[in-house]
Each structure stands twice: as C-alpha cells, then as structure tokens.
Amino acid sequence: MGNTHDTDTVFCFDAATGQLIWKHAYACPLDPKYFEGGPGATPTVADGRVYTISRQGHLFCLDAAKATVIWKKNLNVESGLEIPTWGFAGSALVEGDRVFLNMGSAGAALEKSSGKVVWISGKDAGGYSTPVPFSAGDERRLALFTKDSIAAIRAGDGRALWSYPWKTSYDVNAAEPIIEGDKVFISAGYNHGAALLKLNGNAPEELWENKNMRNHFNSCVLWKGYLYGVDENQLRCLAFDTGEVKWTDRDFGKGSLMVADGKLIGMSEKGELIIAEATPQAFKPISRTQVLTGRCWTTPVLSNGRIYCRNAAGQVVCVDVSTK
C-alpha cells in the first residue's frame, strides 16, 4: 500500500518479477504528521481475499485475484469512532468468520463475508497495533494494545475481561503483544519500556518491568527463550523470563526485523539488510548489504527464497537468498 497525491493505492505484484497485476485506489489524505505519511497498516490476505485499512478508517475487502470490491466500510464515519493521532495502523486479523480490528476503545469485529458490524467496544481512539488471538480454556480471546493499556477481549462478543494500565507518551502503543503460554510481553517506545505479565485468571501479575526494550513500532520476536527487537534506535536481545540485556548493537537505528531458520533478518533504518545468527551470546552478523536508501521502517518479508524490502518513498526491492 502507498499514497500519492492524496490517493491510497493497494498494489498486487508478481512476486517473481515485480510486474504489476492489479491496483485499487481511493481518495485519502497523505497526512505527513512528523513522518512521510501514508497508510500505516499492511494488507491482510486470507481465503482468497485482501483486507485493507486506511489511516482514515476506510475498510476494503477485495478479491485477491481480481481486485474487485467484495465490501467496503468506513467505521469512523458510520459509527463515529475517533481517529488516533497518527491514524489507524493495526492490520486486520481474520479468524473464523470474523475480521477483528484495533478500532474504537478496545477493538471491533465484523462479519468476514459482508462487513456487517458484530461488535464495537466503544468510540474512543484505540492503539496502533494488530489484535493478537489466544485461547483461555475453550474461550477465544484477543490481546489488544489500547491507547493506555493492554486488554484481553472476548472474541465472541467484545467483552473486556481484564486490562493492565500501560500509558505511553502520545498514546503510542504500537508493537504487538507477544503471548507465550500464560505470559504476555508488552513494550512501548518514548522511553516507556517493557514488561512481562503472567495471566492468573482475570488479574495479570507483573513478573518484571524495565526500560531495556522500548519498541517504538516494530514488534519484538521471541525465539527459544529470548526476545530480539529494536530498543528505540538500537538492536537488542533480552532474556524473556528476566528482561536482562544479553547484547546491544547501537548502529542499527529504528529499523525492523523478523526471524527465520534461526537467523535474524533485519532492515536498518538506513536501508541495510542484515542477516545475523539469532543467539543470545552476541550480535553475530552473517551478511550486510545496502539494498535501499531513505528511511526504512517496514519489516522485511521472507518468502520462497526471496526477501522483500521497502522504504518510506515506496521503493520495493526483491533480494534472492535461495541456494542454487
């Protein structure tokens, strides 16, 4: 997704060649509020459909093959939802017959087939992360970062089951919670920090809290008992159970990362693609390649032996990392 001349466009490219297959456009302001502007949420693809969200609340369900509109809505117009300062940014979560959104006070749910509203939690501005599903017994729940807390929401009816206060400057709770068994890791930037909570019924218990991991927007990755993520403007590894710092790389910048095959795939803020061992012993780069220029905050994507990277100007590069 991108924005040019106050027009959002959803693009579909051939993954092997980059050739444009289709595009879908609609009017939406760029709104460059302290950054380049444009869409904040990535498209969600499920069951042959593509679900997209604009910063202003335009929701589209498109046919993934043809880009025809199956349904569309604008919840902030139809339901009077408040738009967050930097617009809606959480991607749609598609599960079962529903689409879950971080819109409203603590989420909303729509029918996947029609876009009909199933429930909306409230009209206040929400957080910027994507809902994370988990189970408690036989009940399906959502972990949701609101503007000032982490909350557990019952997926069936939107009922709030518990919440834990997490107030961050400018209401920027943007990184997804990480759930492992009965534990939930949360983190936020602006020098707020991170915490590990244990779920005891409907009353979360804090196991630790510190400022060792301050995720501005890119979420950490949990791998074999250790958290790898961007602490404000540096790459860092933490022990999941204690929050202890294992190593720090201060040259990375804000950037983003993912983990695959026991390796960190990181994209530095300045466009350097870095592959490193995912180990708590030390930061051990395997390769470093400058693939883009400009600001790069988008998470790299690995698929079928290729890594796709994008910068804020909308340039996309495909790097072949397959063995031949």
**Which two tokens mark 69?**
């509109």
pLDDT of residue 202: 76
Q: Share the mean pLDDT of the chain.
A: 95
Residue 323 has pLDDT above 90, yes or no: no
**Which two tokens mark 175?**
């990184």
What's the whole-number mean pLDDT along residues 246-250? 96
Q: How confident is the model at residue 116 (pLDDT cuts 50, 70, 90)?
A: very high
Residue 14 has pLDDT above 90, yes or no: yes
In the chain, where are the structural domains located? 218-324
- Residues of the chain with pLDDT > 70, as a percent, come to 100
Residue 252, H or E segment: none
pTM: 0.95
- Residues of the chain with pLDDT > 90, as a percent, come to 93
Mean pLDDT lowest among 22-26, 30-34, 43-47, 147-151? 30-34
pLDDT of residue 179: 96
pLDDT of residue 261: 92
Burial class of 114 by CB neighbour count within 10 A (0 to 12, 13 to 18, 19+): exposed
Comparing C-alpha atoms, which of 169, 162, 114 is closest to residue 141? 162
pLDDT of residue 146: 95
Q: How confident is the model at residue 279 (pLDDT cuts 50, 70, 90)?
A: very high
Residue 273 has pLDDT above 80, yes or no: yes
pLDDT of residue 249: 95
- 107 CA to centre of own chain: 15
Residue 67 has pLDDT above 90, yes or no: yes
What's the whole-number mean pLDDT along residues 78-93? 94
What's the whole-number mean pLDDT along residues 6-20? 97
Residue 34 has pLDDT above 90, yes or no: no
pLDDT of residue 200: 82
Residue 113 has pLDDT above 90, yes or no: yes
pLDDT of residue 73: 95
Q: Which tens digit of pLDDT belongs to each residue from 157-195?
A: 999 999 999 999 999 999 999 999 999 999 999 999 999
Q: Are 106 and 125 in contact (CB under 8 A)?
A: no
pLDDT of residue 40: 93
From the CB of residue 183, how many other CB atoms can be counted at a distance below 10 Å? 17
Q: How confident is the model at residue 324 (pLDDT cuts 50, 70, 90)?
A: low
Distances (CA, A) of 43 to 93, 154, 170, 212: 10, 24, 25, 31
What's the whole-number mean pLDDT along residues 5-10? 97
The CATH code of the domain at 218-324 is 2.40.128.630
Residue 245 has pLDDT above 80, yes or no: yes
